[in-house]
Amino acid sequence: MTWSWEYLPSEQHVTAGAPADFLAAVEQRAAELVRAAEALYLDGISYQGSGEPMRYLDVAGGLLAYYVVPRLELVVCQVTPPPAP
């Protein structure tokens, strides 16, 4: 298995109406989170503890909420885009 990230519940639902620059920043941060999780959980599939709690990052004026699921080698992301001008 290999580490990845995804939107919850779906990319189409979560990103609808979000600015393109915000989504690009979210995707960049999500890729960084995947690399960090991969380094922290070298064998995520055999991980026995509970998962991490939901965490939050300010990204390009919006909010990225994420949590790491080591046994699935997955970073799950939800976003709140910045307010419209």
The model's pLDDT over 7-56, given as tens digits with 9 standing for 90+, comes to 998 889 888 889 999 999 999 999 999 999 999 888 877 788 877 899 99
Q: Based on the number of CB atoms within 10 Å of its own CB, is 70 exposed (0-12), middle (13-18) or buried (19 or more)?
A: buried
pTM, rounded to two decimals? 0.88
Map 30-76 to HEC letters: HHHHHHHHHHHCCCHHHCCCCCCCCEEEEECCEEEEEEEEHHHCEEE
